[in-house]
Structure 1
Amino acid sequence: MAATDRQVPEVGLSEEAARRIDLWWATVMVGALGLVFALLAVFGGVAVPVLLALAGAYIFNPMVTALEKRGMDRTWGTTLVFTGGTLLLVGAVLYLVPVFRDEALKLPDFFRRASTQVVPKVEALLGTSLPELVRQRTTELGEQATQLVQSAGPAAARILASFAGNTARFVATLLGLAVVPVLAFFFLQDYPLLLGKMKDLLPRRSVALVGKRFAEVDEVLSAFVRGQLTVGAVLSVIYAIGLSVGRIDMAIVIGVIAGFGNMVPYLGTGVGILLSLVGLMLSWQGPWQLGVVAGTFIVGQMLEGFVITPRIVGEKVGLAPMAVIIAILAFGELFGFVGILLAVPVAAILKVVLRVVIQRYQRTNLYTGDARAP
């Protein structure tokens, strides 16, 4: 923002009043994020289903709103979107579960061949022997993968039995899973009403400015929640198709990992290329495969940069790659898997909060050195 823009006060508010409202808003936002993590830690069984339902309502609200603008009643629009989403989800599960089951059955042989074939090829390529520790670890990885797949069924049965043995926890888990779509439906149906009631609670003088700040948060969050999930899904399909054309082992699994891993800068592409090279060594049929693998990732990245993001998704989340990586590491260390899932959305919200605080600071006489500044 230019220096001249920073000196323009909000319409209808003095600079001092606007600054006070913004600082209160920033404090409330940080406190609300802290409350969310506290609730997850203390009442995870209740908080997780509610958060999942709210996330679903937030994701699908633009579709229902678009139908409502076309004259459809919101209840019918919610029902239509909900039914369509449910059918798509069921169809995807019915298709993907057998596919991933077949891919999982290949894992033991994949790791076993990787430990016995890839290491010698790497040694021949480098012209030197790898340390014995590397050879030993790759062999152990293949054996452990075999044992893991063989024990997956009994392990799942034991987990189910342990839940069933603890009747209260088993019932709570089932209720938690069952209540998510119900809550999501009603949150989605009443989304404008809920927002309206929250807006009615705001002090009248601060409605416009606070509404503007929440619009900024919504812009950043929607770029991540809707945008990055869309990018991950499209890239997964592109990578899976390309690697399948190249007859690479575990093409679908590698494609999904590389596609959705793209949410973490460099991680998805790096891991995808590494796994593809391992699969390439195990299924070598000629130099053409190397060209297909390289072309798949090059085309995927070019489409992501020039077509998917600008034309389909719009602006990205707006966080620097290093900030995303640090947020994931920090929140993962503090809050575990839930922290990893919430790291980037929370970091995006905090970015808006920090930007607002900095803007207000840059309008003070402490920053400008102007005694006349408010």
Structure 2
Amino acid sequence: MEPPAPPLHAVPAPAVPELPEEAARRIDLTWSLVMVGALGLVFGLLAVFGGVAVPVLLALTGAYVFNPVVSALERRGLNRTWGTTIVFGGCTLVMVGAVLYLIPVFQEEAAKLPEFFRQASTQVVPQIEALLGVSVPEFVNQRTAELGAKASELLQSAGPAAARLAASFAGNTARFMATLLGLAVVPVLGFFFLQDYPKLIGRVRDLIPRPAVGLVRQRFSEVDDVLSAFVQGQLTVGSILSVIYSTGLSIAGLDMAIVIGVITGFGNMVPYMGTAMGLVLAMLGLMLSWQGPWQIAVVAGTFLVAQLSEGLVITPRIVGEKVGLRPVTIIIAILGFGELFGFVGILLAVPVSAILKVVLRVVVLRYQKTRLYMGEAAKP
């Protein structure tokens, strides 16, 4: 029996034998129709069996993202099962560490809110009035003072209220419980998908008609190039930007500098959204840890340096033109798929756009070799 094919993004695709144009056109157009039909089937399954399809989709995505790491360990002689265990163990440690770090940080920042509202009512508002030369409406002072007086009470009751709301929602909504169960099995499914990833790819390849294997594999390799370049590039860019933002905001004296920096850095996977979120969070952090006007200059300088570095140096050198998904394309895809399919559509927007980009390129390539396009110069 022929051994299973290695992961598509682990080795380069073999050379494709020369095919007659008619055969190549038929294979490419059939592949394009199958890909579009498969995408339609995925969204149909998500609409009908979302509780089952979403966990499977998330697990497959995780297997795709971490497969290069496990494959690299496997090439170094480590058993694939052990490699998968090491990757999952590392991810678990990172997630647990992040939770253990974030809980006390958020508790500390929440404890500052009462004092912040009290200072806002007695110090910040008068300073704004003096700076602008106008009087702030009296109801602003009153509402700010009331928030300062009630902030502690609100914070103390927020936790129990949220718990009661979640319990009520869980008790009355079977779909919510099914969603929680589905999310709980994502790591289990992801482990087995990652462990058997080469076998899954091999079984898919075995279904392809033998004369079309070379060309179809090349098309899947093109899709994989776009997806892997986007995922790996954006993770690398996000990591570098997170370091820049976290360092700058730490220098500015913001208490949640690392959290804001990571959210802003990785938020740039959705163009401009990460920057907008980071600015809002940085302004909130400034208000909670105000030390003087110099902080504004440091925060502004941090965002300026990060944006210039990302646009002029980091993204061009790391991602380059290989991805071919322009920011405007990503934004339109996220908005469109989000409107049609909700949160799942947002998650699928970029990979679906990458697949459709390759499909469109293949269709245009074959069209440009037809007699309709080239006239008498077309090859039979």
Q: TM-score, normalised by structure 2?
A: 0.80
1:235/1:137 CA distance change after superposition, 3 Å = farther
Look up the equivalent residue of 2:355 and give its one-letter code: I
What per-residue deviation string (whole Å, max 9, x for no partner) do you get for residues 36-88 of structure 1?
Answer: 22222211111111111111111110011111111222122222222222222
Query: Which stretch shifts more, 202-211 or 227-236?
Result: 227-236
Amino acid at match of 1:77: G
Does the 8 Å contact 2:112/2:288 carry over to 1? Answer: no
Does the CA contact (< 8 Å) of 2:242 and 2:261 recur in 1? yes
Please give the per-residue CA displacement for 1:282-313, whole angstroms capped at 9, x wherever unaligned.
75544532332133223323443566546666
CA distance in 2, matches of 1:325, 1:134: 37
Q: 1:292 to 1:341 in 2, by over 3 A?
A: same
Q: Counterpart in 1 of 2:11?
A: none
Residue 78 of structure 2 corresponds to 72
Q: 1:120 to 1:81 in 2, by over 3 A?
A: same
Report the Cα offset of residue 366 of structure 1.
1.9
Aligned match of 1:322: 328
Amino acid at match of 1:266: Y
Comparing 49-58 with 251-260, greater Cα deviation is found at 251-260
How far apart, in 2, do the equivalents of 1:78 and 1:51 lie? 18
- The 2-side partners of 1:319 and 1:150 are apart by 46
- Which residue of the other structure, out of 50, 55, 63, is the alignment partner of 2:56? 50
TM-score, normalization by structure 1: 0.81
Counterpart check, 1:93 vs 2:91: no
SS in 2 for 1:54: helix
Change beyond 3 A, Cα 1:154–1:320: same
Farther off after superposition, 295-304 or 20-29:
295-304
**Deviation sequence 1:174-199 (CA, Å, 0-9, x none):** 53233211111111111001100100
Cα distance in 2 between the residues matched to 1:123 and 1:30: 60
Determine whether 1:304 maps to 2:320.
no
Do structure 1's residue 177 and structure 2's residue 183 form an aligned pair?
yes
**Taking every aligned residue pair, what percent have the same amino acid on both sides?**
74
Per the TM alignment, residue 237 of structure 1 is displaced from its structure 2 partner at its CA by 3.8
Question: Which of 289, 292, 296 lines up with 2:298 in the alignment?
Answer: 292
> Within 1, Cα distance between the matches of 2:331 and 2:121?
30
The one-letter amino acid paired with 1:369 is G
SS in 1 for 2:211: helix
Quick one: structure 1 residues 315 and 90, their matched pair in 2 at CA, closer, same or farther if it must change by over 3 Å? farther
Gaps of at least 5 residues in structure 2 are 1-15
| Bigger shift: residues 305-314 or 138-147 | 138-147
Q: Matched residue of 1:369: which SS?
A: helix
Is 1:78–1:185's contact at 8 Å kept on the other side of the alignment? yes
The alignment yields a C-alpha RMSD, in angstroms, of 3.8
The answer to whether structure 1 residue 21 and structure 2 residue 27 are counterparts is: yes
Question: 1:192 aligned to 173, 194, 198, which one?
Answer: 198
Taking the aligned partners of 1:111 and 1:314, their CA distance within structure 2 comes to 47
Q: What CA deviation, in whole Å up to 9, does each residue of 1:106-156 have, x standing for no partner?
A: 567768877998888778777788999999999999999999856542343
Q: State whether residues 227 and 316 of structure 1, in contact with CA within 8 Å, keep that contact through their aligned partners in structure 2.
A: no
Per the alignment, do residues 283 and 344 of structure 1 end up closer, same or farther by CA in structure 2, a change over 3 Å counting? Answer: same
Distance in 2 (alpha carbons) for counterparts of 1:94 and 1:329: 34
* CA separation of 1:174 and 1:372: change in aligned 2, threshold 3 A: closer
128-137 or 215-224, which deviates more: 128-137
Contact 1:259 1:268 in 2 (8 A): yes
Q: Given residue 265 of structure 1, which amino acid in structure 2 is its aligned partner? A: P
Amino acid in the other structure paired with 2:338 = G
Question: By how many angstroms is 1:229 displaced?
Answer: 3.3
For 2:142 and 2:35, the matched residues in 1 are separated by 51
Partner-residue secondary structure (3-state), 2:19: coil
CA distance in 1, matches of 2:112, 2:118: 10
Partner of 2:248: 242
- Map of 1:255 onto structure 2: 261
Cα pair 1:309 1:316 within 8 Å, conserved = no
Instruction: Give deviations 1:146-176, integer Å, cap 9, x for gaps.
Output: 9985654234322442355359657634532
In structure 2, the partner of 1:157 is 163
Note if contact 1:236-1:257 (Cα within 8 Å) is conserved in structure 2. Answer: yes
Range 74-83 or range 94-103, more displaced = 94-103
Counterpart CA distance in 2 for 1:257 and 1:242 is: 14
Whole-angstrom distance in 1 between the partners of 2:118 and 2:322: 40
State the Cα deviation string for residues 210-268 of structure 1 (Å, max 9, x = none). 11111111111112333323433442343133112202465445434422321222232
Whether the aligned pair in 1 keeps the contact of 2:263 and 2:278 (CA below 8 Å) is yes
In the alignment, is residue 12 of structure 1 matched against residue 8 of structure 2? no
1:349 matches 2:346: no
1:315 is displaced (CA, Å) by: 5.8
Equivalent residue pairs, number? 365
